């Protein structure tokens, strides 16, 4: 805290105390708002399925969108584009978003694949899927959204060129994650790719101060390591990991033979 106090004082000396105070107030409000939204979303999450074996299902779709905006500081569109870039999504491909939430990433994928491609999204929450369908209709982007569990995907083998799973694995119980990754592998065509995005071992101001990053900091690095191991066990030919380059997130990208 003393370090950051000194840093803000230096900014004030160079740029004027009013600028420094304004920045500090806006940062504080953003972090506080993010913390409130985290608490609100978590208070509306409950186990889904028999004995909670399917994982936590979020039921506050509107809060979820607000939280995404707070976490990205209004840059969610850039986050989604970065995710699609890492996955290598191009025009004409068939894409599945597992744990699609309110559909923001799936809709971005549809813009990327164009009229010659197709996009599907699945989520265990009825409320999330309802909001995703409403977004799809409102924006004129035809994406098929269905209620389904990540461990039991309602599609035939080798259906998709790309399977995405962004910030969803940590909602699954440990004994369900292997089944979910195996399903992602089953869905993919030869030469297909699967991308898992999760919170990674944070560094810098974002990891130290951001409420969402703090909430997931303890277990998230382990989840990414686990995802890499599960992808290899599921039979993917190669798996690469690294920072997503956005907000302290990391990824595991796997390719089929």
Per-residue pLDDT tens over the stretch 42-82? 444 444 443 344 555 555 777 777 777 777 777 889 999 99
In the Cβ-directed half-sphere of 40, how many Cα atoms lie within 13 Å? Answer: 16
pLDDT at 127 over 60: yes
If phi > 0 it is left, if psi is from -120 to 50 it is alpha, else beta; for residue 152 that is beta
H/E stretch holding 191 reads strand 188-199
Beta bridge partners of residue 197, listed in sequence order: 166, 251
The residue length of the chain stands at 257
Nearest to 184 by CA among 245, 137, 119, 231: 231
Whole-model pTM over 0.85 = no
Helix (H) or strand (E) holding 64: helix 61-71
The Cα-based distances of 181 to 75, 145, 173, 213 in angstroms read 28, 20, 13, 24
Backbone phi, then psi, for 256, in 5-degree steps?
-85, 165
Query: Does residue 150 or residue 27 have the better pLDDT?
Result: 150
- Residue 245 binned pLDDT confidence (cut-offs 50, 70, 90): confident
Identify any residues that bridge with 185 across adjacent strands, giving them in sequence order.
none
Percentage of the chain modeled with pLDDT above 70: 68
Question: How far is residue 92's CA from residue 113's CA, in Å, rounded to a whole number?
Answer: 5
Cα–Cα distances in Å, from 101 out to 61, 123, 158, 172?
8, 6, 23, 14
Q: What angle do CA 55, 104, 62 make, to 5 degrees?
A: 70
**Residue at token pair 């944070």:** 202
The predicted pLDDT at position 143 comes to: 98
Nearest to 167 by CA among 124, 224, 228: 224
Pairing of strands 160-166, 94-98: parallel
pLDDT score recorded for residue 12: 47
| Cα 185 to Cα 236: distance, rounded to the nearest angstrom | 7
């Amino acid at each position: 805290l003393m370090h950051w106090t000194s840093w803000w004082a230096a900014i004030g000396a160079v740029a004027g105390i009013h600028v420094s105070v304004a920045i500090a107030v806006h940062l504080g409000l953003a972090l506080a708002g993010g913390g409130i939204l985290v608490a609100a979303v978590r208070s509306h999450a409950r186990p889904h399925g028999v004995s909670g074996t399917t994982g936590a299902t979020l039921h506050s779709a509107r809060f979820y969108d607000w939280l995404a905006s707070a976490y990205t500081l209004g840059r969610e569109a850039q986050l989604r584009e970065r995710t699609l870039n890492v996955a290598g999504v191009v025009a004409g491909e068939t894409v599945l978003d597992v744990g699609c939430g309110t559909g923001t990433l799936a809709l971005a994928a549809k813009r990327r694949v164009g009229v010659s491609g197709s996009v599907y999204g699945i989520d265990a929450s009825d409320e999330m899927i309802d909001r995703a369908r409403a977004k799809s209709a409102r924006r004129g982007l035809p994406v098929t959204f269905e209620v389904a569990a990540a461990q039991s995907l309602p599609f035939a083998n080798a259906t998709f060129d790309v399977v995405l799973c962004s910030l969803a694995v940590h909602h699954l119980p440990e004994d369900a994650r292997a089944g979910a990754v195996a399903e992602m592998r089953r869905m993919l065509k030869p030469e297909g790719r699967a991308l898992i995005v999760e919170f990674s071992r944070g560094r810098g101001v974002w990891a130290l101060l951001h409420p969402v990053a703090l909430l997931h900091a303890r277990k998230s690095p382990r989840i990414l390591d686990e995802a890499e191991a599960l992808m290899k066990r599921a039979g993917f030919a190669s798996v690469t990991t690294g920072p997503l380059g956005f907000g302290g997130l990391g990824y595991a990208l796997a390719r089929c033979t």
